[in-house]
Structure 1
Amino acid sequence: MSEVQKIRLLQITDLHFGKTPQCLVNHVNPVMTFNAILDDIDRLRWHEDIIILSGDLSGIESYKSYKILNKILKCRDKKIIWLPGNHDNVTDMIKYLKDFPRIISMALQNWSVITLDTSQRNSPVGYIHADELQMLERQLVKMKDKFIIIAMHHCPALVGSRWLDKHRVKNHSDFFKILSNHKNIKGIFTGHVHQKFEGICKDIAVYTTPSSCFQFEPNSQKYEISDTLPGYRWLHLFDDGTLETGVNYVSANLTG
């Protein structure tokens, strides 16, 4: 009997880079913690795997953040799929992540990854604009014979934190209405909430991933920082449609 083959993907989210590599956010140096995560990936010999960077690559909507990130990714020879978050500027991302063009979807053997932009200017609330929804529908039709994962910044499900649940994708009903016509969707992978969450919404698995720098306290009523370590998510995609996923946390020098 032949062995079931698998593809491994990695998800890193909410990098929150500043204007310089020395900038701190909530007393954490996000460049140092991101590099520590890349070190952990290399230690596990996962350095050849594609990394999904799922938004808030900058924490202050600065083009300088993307220049720093582009340099790190190029020097470390990483394969990247990126998408924007509410702290990002898509125009600057395209311009300054110059060695990593925007990829909307990618076919990987029996699987396909589709990315969505859920960001709105000057708002922390997620929203999927009409052109994105139309693109999603086209991609799902095109990829009807593949197993699908969707990557986006904002979560379309409630995670149990009152203040963060207000940031849920506002038109989540439109999103799930499109998905309801497709039975090959294996998971939705998001960021924004700076914590691990796994749940089911409209019969589809939904995952959030910890930030690569700092975390929010789960099940909180208001903004509250957790002492949980930086983290990232791994995904194993098997050619029979099985998906396995988990989170690794990384002990790092947080402040430099």
Structure 2
Amino acid sequence: MTTITEHPKSGRVIKVLQITDTHLFADGSGCLLGLNTEQSLDAVTAEVRAHHLPADLILATGDLVHDGTPAAYRRIFSHLKNFGLPVYCLPGNHDEARTLQHTLDDELIKYTEDAHLGNWHFIFLDSTIPDNEGAHLTPETLDMLETQLQSAPDSHTLVCLHHQPVPMGSRWLDTMAVDNADAFFRIIDRHPQVRGILWGHVHQTFDGLHKDIKLMSSPSTCIQFLPGSEDFAVDTANPGYRWLELYPDGRIETGVERIAALPGSVDLASNGY
């Protein structure tokens, strides 16, 4: 995979949107726990268009589709490319990374190791384990992270992955956290230019700190997991997305927005999927 460099005007704020865990199906009528995931994505993207455009790029941080099929990827890409922005994709545990990569059909949809915009460096890590819901960063991925960070010590850096590298406080969900997060943070701690770490997977909002590094997760565009739950549980919170403003001095301003009304209903009694 190659480095991608964009050239926004020097010295201005970079606006980023995170859209995650869309779980689309090849069939547009596909539902997850009773909710049509395409309809909920449509509602979220309408909210984005109403309140958070223009922007510079979109981060699609995994579980883009639910069934791993080329048709499902073509469906999600058709939604994302309509923004007319670069979209950087990461695989999640429900994705098929090779199918994702081979289905790319538009220059706006990107699958790469890193990107540069202004004085910001974005690094994209694959945390997935084939045929497993859990998370692991391979030696090759950790080496890539180290190499990328060494290559741009003067660029503020946002590291992105699908799975959470820190506990979320939910017993069942934390069984799927990155299982070698200590090795990950040893690398991060050697490079003071890292300003933020961003992930999906957890279908809920998280804002925290590792030393002075922002830690962030975002709601899914479909169903939400109940924070703090011991076992699988669905929350009544609505779908949403995260916006980030990346400043030339390395500061990150960020927030989460949710749609006002759910386009359908969710099976709150479900014990998993």
* 8 Å Cα contact 1:32-1:253 kept in structure 2: no
1:64 and 2:71 are equivalent in the alignment: yes
Between the aligned residues of both structures, percent identity stands at: 34
Aligned residues: 253
Match for 2:139: what amino acid? A
Structure-2 change in CA distance of 1:232 and 1:105 (3 Å): same
Once the two structures are TM-superposed, the CA of residue 101 in structure 1 deviates from its matched residue by 3.1
Q: 4+ runs of 1 displaced by more than 4 Å?
A: none
Which has the higher mean CA deviation after the structures are superposed, 195-204 or 135-144? Answer: 195-204
Once the two structures are TM-superposed, the CA of residue 204 in structure 1 deviates from its matched residue by 3.0
1:251 and 2:251 are equivalent in the alignment: no
SS in structure 2 opposite 1:124?
A: strand
Once the two structures are TM-superposed, the CA of residue 184 in structure 1 deviates from its matched residue by 1.1
Once the two structures are TM-superposed, the CA of residue 120 in structure 1 deviates from its matched residue by 0.6
SS in structure 2 opposite 1:74?
A: helix
**TM-score, with length taken from structure 1:** 0.94
**Correspondence for 1:123:** 132
Structure 1: runs of 5 or more not aligned = none
Distance 1:75 1:203 in 2: 36
Match for 1:87: what amino acid? H
**Correspondence for 1:197:** 206
Once the two structures are TM-superposed, the CA of residue 149 in structure 1 deviates from its matched residue by 0.5
**TM-score, with length taken from structure 2:** 0.88
**Correspondence for 1:54:** 61
Distance 1:90 1:19 in 2: 16
- Choose from 142, 145, 149 the match for 1:140: 149
Distance 1:154 1:208 in 2: 9
Match for 2:179: what amino acid? K
Structure 1 residues 56-205: aligned runs within 5 Å: 56-99=63-106, 100-201=109-210, 203-205=212-214
Structure 2: runs of 5 or more not aligned = 1-10, 266-273
Once the two structures are TM-superposed, the CA of residue 19 in structure 1 deviates from its matched residue by 2.0
* 8 Å Cα contact 1:24-1:255 kept in structure 2: no
Distance 1:202 1:119 in 2: 26
Distance 1:35 1:191 in 2: 19
Match for 1:232: what amino acid? Y
**Correspondence for 1:225:** 234
1:44 and 2:37 are equivalent in the alignment: no
Q: What RMSD over aligned residues (CA atoms) do the two structures have, in Å?
A: 1.6
SS in structure 1 opposite 2:35?
A: coil
